[in-house]
Structure 1
């Protein structure tokens, strides 16, 4: 989940590396560091905390001159958040400097072998041992290629390494195994302007050049005048990787008049959904045809998993198809791919989620084709999938997913509709009508955000002091409860537990008292009378035990008994299938409002990262 950017050029690139790393903070912001090289000198700049909060000081004389530099922003996996544990790390002889994204599984064994040779680590990380291994093997062989091969043979785990060698000024080396890494060249109007490595091309936003996405087993040698990519296990040989133009707009960084990116991106949700509603049917047809004739499985992590759960209901209730659905980290323990009769739908905002990619690789090995729904073009998921679908939500800078999850649900809705028509569950006219509902959703979401935010903010102000929460839903609104509870605890740091409304009486109701609040997501009675009645019964059970309930529903308040809710907020309604997206947006606004009132770090909540690229 860490972020890496490295640049080598024939000019001072200090500001470029500083700005590039700041754009990668979404990958982790426990600490940050730079290894800067110029005129034969190596300088380290490392600190704990958020880079963007210290960027001005670094820009104002805090960065040493650098013609080659490695930058790293850390999400701690091994070792506490300290300067000593901050990347980049140097080898015992100061010859190598290295930054790493991933996990070295056998780092403890290597550490013990190093200690036996009187080489002591100065950090608690799993990364430092690799720097020492590089120095050891290079001292023994004097051959850089042999050194890299020996180190790769010795370490187990996932890694993207960015390496510099003091003996070869201007050279940067990238090594990839299951963690994302790209290499490329920069250009300006006068010609070549350097080479780079990066975890995500967003680090090079605003630059011109070419980029290649490395594959597992690739080693990239980056110099100011170009990039050479090799591939192999023990013997490295040149390999061609497709180069595409760097074309990344800086505009998404602009907050405009919004106080936080989270609120800005909630306001962008209608446009995000509209793009998916307007996506030409031809762009989905290949995926629909495949899903219609294969056994379907859905997989995602975090918010993407909850989007998949909604998709599971869509496939069941619209298409009459059971779609297996498990979180990516558990998927392979309960689902064995048996062959090409199956189909996988993999959902990930970044397209780099470690556990989701692990499932996709297992599917690929079994001959199972994948549909990938992602927000990042050229991500690993998009490149792996037989049927890639780009949700095109625009860049999400806030670590919490808001507009992106609604776009993912919109895609799953369309896939389920297409499968339903292929199966004869609905005809073309009904398909068209249900798509028209989706086309109307952006307008309804815009009205919700404009008309209901003040009321939701008032509820957040009033109840922000409550420490413990249940979030309840039934049927399609059960995934809404799970996702809304996740958003709430991510950004407010308060305990929130999402569950099916029916679970309440199977033990958890024992926690209910006047200090334990519940958020209930209630379906429109006209659209789903059975689920409406069941959720309202659960609310009565809570009220009977002195509990307080905040209700988000679509019916007028007079549809409920007086005093049943501590607070009830009526939301607009569109259809049985799309009302959950309206409630998801209301849940996001409630989470945002509570977190603002509590003074939380909205866009960079503690301990989180947006792209989960480690196990």
Structure 2
């Protein structure tokens, strides 16, 4: 995730442009830059580091002009270098582009354009955009038509904006599955990834939807459809929240914001190039033994993936906590070490990785931070591109990693013929339903989850039960509960509960049960037996389940009927929300819980 800003005004914008990009720094902070239209052309200044660090070197407020762009980067393609920083220029210097998203066909476009004489200087996917614009403008001799033709050639997700010497009083921008909003000011028009970028200058906004583009000037804007070019009329909205609140995009906490970002995060994970997934799948397929490794939330991500690999690929992939890996794993040159890490700097996981590599193992990782130690040291890194998580608790990064590993399990199942082509395609279609399913939960079940959480937040002891993959979901939900509420929450398999823990159940020990769809008959019936066992001992049961209302539960959240493949992940979102609203009721520090750090880099 990156932050993009553009301003067109009837006066100098240098100070405003700097402040606007500074307000978006939480969206990416490995590099930043700006492009200003000046009488002599487009002036670009950019470098590696935070906005303040770059400003100290590049003097970002020095260029004077009334039309400009700025960008703060969370790298997805290409290392963290000055040349890979945005904005990117076309070969003739007439177009400057900033971009948030992933152009999935950039390699093909790069090859095509290189063959026709274009020269690329960066490793990024974004750089193809100004070169395609130049290519189309040379044919069309009209900026809007060139932009329209460019849409047809780009695949992937984006919110991008560009300035050009061919139309020096305008900015052109477009959205496809990445956020973009216009700010309508007095003799100034803004565009940005988030409202908080420009809210100190205007609270009048127009939100772009997917597959729309806009052309803005200092006193006008036009929104059109990417496919047809037809003009779209949209009313200006007035925002009432304060500039301070807008730092969180209108949400009271970063945790809640990041939970709500998960439909988009999942879409990004689904758009990771198939070749990256296939490479990982082949590594698993060709290895004698693959270990799934993580610690904390990423351990439960790995545990969730363990069940998907068993179900879809017929593969038993043992799960080992990073901190215990060197004490229990048997590793040789036929081993694959596969880990997940949001930061890419987790001490225990790095230590386990180096242990495995020293013994000749191949290695792979799903990581969120480009250029991190783990991403550099493994043989194959998949960059999940979830964007920075500001809340210490991981929500959107975790579900993104689960989706990446689920995609990989499908690919392994296809490679080893565990899945027929028809089954493979069916599951791929089901997986595409996940973003809408999560959005449904956020839209339709948030209030119910909040109601239950408010009623039972004072309860100090919880069991979170599930069977099969729902055990992994229950354990991750329990971790969220203990992290943010400071209440005791213990996740475990429903069958395991009967072997000791059942003695703890009384009116003071509440239980949350993650129930699969009834179509998974054996799993469903076994789970419901656990519900009966808890109820028989006077326990209070909160049921997360599908289908019709069930009087066996003391309180219930009913999830939408979705394919079993994605059903557990919807319940995980419910678990995140339950932990969040319990903590709010208890008055906890949501984004920075006590004793926790975002990236654990010590033993």
Alignment TM class, shorter chain as reference:
0.5 to 0.7
* 1:66-117 CA distance string (max 9 Å, x none): xxxxx9xxxxxxxxxxxxxxxxxxxxxxxxxxxxxxxxxxxxxxxxxxxxxx
**Are the counterparts in 1 of residues 272 and 384 from structure 2 also a CA contact under 8 Å?**
no
Moved more, 284-293 or 446-455: 284-293
Deviations 1:142-180 (A, max 9, x none): xxxxxxxxxxxxxxxxxxxxxxxxxxxxxxxxxxxxxxx
Indicate if the aligned counterparts of 1:329 and 1:356 stay in contact, CA closer than 8 A.
yes
SS at match of 2:252: coil
1:447 match: 440
Q: Are the counterparts in 2 of residues 278 and 439 from structure 1 also a CA contact under 8 Å? A: no
Match of 1:541 among 529, 533, 552: 533
1:406 aligns with 2:399: yes
- The answer to whether the 8 Å contact 1:266/1:403 transfers is yes
Is the CA contact 2:431–2:565 (under 8 Å) kept in the aligned structure 1? no
After superposition, the Cα gap between the structure-2 partners of 1:286 and 1:244, relative to the gap in structure 1 and judged at 3 Å, is closer
**How far has the Cα of 1:475 moved from its partner?**
0.4
Q: Kindly state the Cα deviation for residue 211 of structure 1 after the two structures are TM-superposed.
A: 10
Residues of 2 paired with 1:436 and 1:304: CA distance?
Answer: 26
Q: Please tell me whether the aligned partners of residues 185 and 210 of structure 1 are also in contact (alpha carbons under 8 angstroms).
A: no
| Alpha-carbon distance change, 189 to 269 in structure 1, aligned in 2, over 3 angstroms | closer
In the other structure, the counterpart of 2:292 is 298
Report how many residues are paired: 397
1:185 shift after superposition: 9.4
Match in the other structure for 1:336? 330
Contact 1:277 1:435 in 2 (8 A): no
| Whole-Å separation in 1 of the counterparts to 2:365 and 2:249 | 32
For residue 5 of structure 2, what is the aligned residue in structure 1?
A: none
Looking at structure 1, the residues matched to 460 and 549 of structure 2 have their Cα atoms a distance apart, in angstroms, of 26
Q: Say if 1:186 and 1:209, in contact at 8 Å, map to a contact too.
A: no
Find 1:598's aligned residue among 561, 586, 589.
Answer: 586
Counterpart in the other structure of 1:352: 345
| Distance of 1:347 and 1:287 partners within structure 2 | 13
**Residue 388 of structure 1: SS of its match in structure 2?**
strand
User: Which residue is 2:176 aligned to?
Assistant: none
SS of the aligned residue for 2:433 comes to helix
CA distance in 1, matches of 2:403, 2:310: 16
Map of 2:59 onto structure 1: 188
Q: Calculate the TM-score normalised by the size of structure 1.
A: 0.60
CA RMSD of aligned residues (A): 3.4
Task: Tell me the secondary structure at the aligned position of residue 557 of structure 1.
Answer: coil
Deviations 1:232-268 (A, max 9, x none): xxxxxxxxxxx999x9x99688311111111110110
Distance 2:314 2:259 in 1: 32
Give the whole-Å Cα distance in 1 for the aligned partners of 2:530 and 2:83: 55
Counterpart among 273, 281, 297 of residue 280 in structure 1: 273
| Aligned-partner Cα distance in 2 for 1:432–1:257 | 39
Contact 2:518 2:524 (8 Å CA) reproduced: yes
Asked whether the equivalents of residues 346 and 372 of structure 1 are also in contact (C-alpha less than 8 Å), the reply is: yes
In structure 1, how many angstroms separate the alpha carbons of the residues matched to 2:315 and 2:306?
Answer: 9
* 1:353–1:184 Cα change, 3 Å: farther
Q: Which residue, 251, 262, 274 being the options, matches 1:258? A: 251
Deviations 1:22-48 (A, max 9, x none): 979x9xxxxxxxxxxxxxxxxxxxxxx
| Residue of structure 2 equivalent to 1:586 | 574
CA distance in 1, matches of 2:350, 2:265: 24
What does 1:44-55 correspond to in 2, within 5 Å? none
8 Å contact kept, 1:184–1:209: no
Please state whether the residue corresponding to 1:287 is helix, strand or coil: helix
**TM superposition score normalised by structure 2:** 0.61
Deviation at 1:432, TM superposition (A): 1.7
Distance 2:123 2:58 in 1: 13
1:472 aligned partner: 465
Question: 1:577 Cα shift?
Answer: 2.4
Q: Contact conserved, 1:299 with 1:356, CA < 8 A, in 2? A: yes
1:432 matched residue in structure 2: 425
1:496 equivalent in alignment to 2:489: yes
**C-alpha spacing 1:368/1:535, structure 2 compared with 1 (3 Å):** same
Q: CA deviation at 1:332?
A: 1.3
What is the CA-CA distance between 1:283 and the residue it aligns to? 2.3
Q: 1:183 and 1:609 mapped to 2: Cα distance? A: 26
Structure 2, unaligned runs of 5 or more:
1-18, 30-49, 63-72, 75-79, 85-121, 127-159, 161-191, 197-246
Aligned to 2:498: 505
| CA distance in 2 between partners of 1:578 and 1:605 (Å) | 30
Q: How far apart are residue 278 of structure 1 and its match?
A: 2.3
8 Å CA contact 2:294–2:349 kept in 1: the answer is yes
Does the residue aligned with 1:606 lie in a helix, a strand or coil?
coil
1:385 maps to: 378
Query: 1:395, CA displacement in angstroms?
Result: 1.3
Secondary structure (helix, strand or coil) at the match of 1:556 reads coil
Task: Report what 2:219 is aligned to.
Answer: none
Instruction: Tell me what 2:181 maps to.
Output: none
| Matches for 1:7-406 after TM superposition, within 5 Å | 186-188=57-59, 210=82, 254-294=247-287, 295-339=289-333, 341-406=334-399
* Residue 519 of structure 1 pairs with residue 512 of structure 2: yes
Q: Distance in 1 between matches of 2:359 and 2:83?
A: 31
Give the Cα separation in 1 of the matches to 2:330 and 2:56: 42
Shift of the 523–190 alpha-carbon distance from structure 1 to 2, 3 Å rule, reads closer
d(CA) in 2 for partners of 1:367 and 1:184?
Answer: 44
Question: Deviation digits for residues 338-373 of structure 1, max 9, x if unmatched?
Answer: 22x111111011111111111111122122121110
